[in-house]
Amino acid sequence: MGFLSRRVLTAALTANAIRTLPDPKIAAASFLPGWFVGELAPQLLAATAADTAIAVARGRAGRTGLVLAGATAAGLGYLVWQGYRSHRTLDAALEEGLGADYVERLDAPPSPGDYATPWRSLARPFHWSRPDVEVLKDIRYFDAGRRGLLDVSRPKGAVPRGAPVLLQVHGGGWVLGSKDQQGVPLSLHMAARGWVVVSINYRLAPRDAFPAQIVDVKRAIAWVREHIADYGGDPSYVVITGGSAGGQLCALAALTPSDPEYQPGFEDADTSLAAAVPHYGVYDMAGVTGSRARPGCATPSLAPESCRRRTPPTPSCSRKPPRHPDHAGGARLLRHPRCERLAGRRRPGASLRPPAARGVPQGRTPSCPAPSTPSDLFYSIRSVQVVTAVDRFLTWHWHTHRDAHRDAHPHQGLADARAGAPEDVAS
């Protein structure tokens, strides 16, 4: 492939990353390349500059190729700029959802260092390890071969005591993916911060039809309740997160606590959750909002009743676990109609904690993004910003939970302090 051909291809990929065509069929096909180009824009910009310089030095760069190289560099620069701006939108969303004083419950207020360019991570975006985190691999939580395994990540060294717990659910359209392929930057970051992070596999379609996926997520929550103390976690405080299909399962699990429909054989298990951080999931799979866009049920293979059961029950007046304000394409937080107008019934036992979502007062349906470019599969400028924002949300919620527990049990808090304060591990 010559220099001009490479420049045409790169220019087309960059244009696709900046603005995907609105046609659903074309958008679906362009999603994957747009995601990679958008998140790896700095690396592609450097490669474009190097390729152009070499072509010029060898006398192989024509005028058309140089013009395309310049336009591509400008487009990639715009994508890099968007990544840098992510923290502004995320910080504004946190302040609007949690209150401007939420930083008082953090370990420290945000600093310029939190927004520094992660050059080392950008140089090795797929290098998933940290010297201060240990990962206990392939722990069986139920009998389903490799699909019944989970990993536990925690701070390396002394085993924590009473640490907050984060459950990570991978995506992949319910038909592929594994615990090793998604959410790793967030999992390693929170483990280094003192959390115990559980990343799970679950049974996949079409071999195992719905609701096998949500049943497995519920089974993992029940396993955490029973066993996580052995790994240093607090079984009374479990938060869930996930992206894409994992985001849908995350929301469905959070909004159906201890629902026997999704807990066959373990109906009495407590599967309630303290909070949820769903990323770029499809939440209105039944089309209950009236939106014409129904990607979850776009194929005949999903019957209407199956779609209804897959749609998280998020009625306009229900109370539910707090949800982190998620990010959408270009780090823009959107109040999307499919999420704004969701209607349904509140399941018994739903959490009475207020939601934490951008621009949505307590008591209303939390906002959520349109399907967007994910940034939790490898390190990028945007993914680091998102991880930092999620960290703030989780830290705020953990400290709020811990302080409320101490206020309700002052004598126990004093005894814990004298014994070493297990709940202070993540502070």
- Check pLDDT > 80 for residue 55: yes
**CA torsion angle for 417, 423, 425, 427 (degrees, to 10)?**
-100
H or E element: which one contains 276? strand 275-279
Q: Looking at residues 188-206, what average pLDDT do you find?
A: 96
Cα separation, 326 vs 368, in Å, equals: 6
Q: Which residue matches tokens 């701006």?
A: 85
Alpha helices (runs of H) in 283-420, residue ranges in sequence order: 304-310, 337-340, 381-408, 410-419
Predicted local distance difference test score (pLDDT) of residue 54: 96
CB atoms near residue 412 (< 10 Å): 11
Residue-wise pLDDT tens digits, 347-388: 333 332 333 333 222 222 222 332 344 557 788 888 888 888
Residues 58 and 37: beta-carbon distance below 8 Å: no
pTM: 0.79
Predicted local distance difference test score (pLDDT) of residue 138: 97
Is the backbone of residue 172 left (phi > 0), alpha (psi -120 to 50) or beta? left
Residue-wise pLDDT tens digits, 290-333: 554 444 443 334 445 555 566 665 433 333 455 544 433 322 22
Nearest to 170 by CA among 209, 199, 212: 199
Q: How are the residues of the chain apportioned to helix, strand and coil, as percentages rounded to the nearest 5?
A: 45, 10, 40
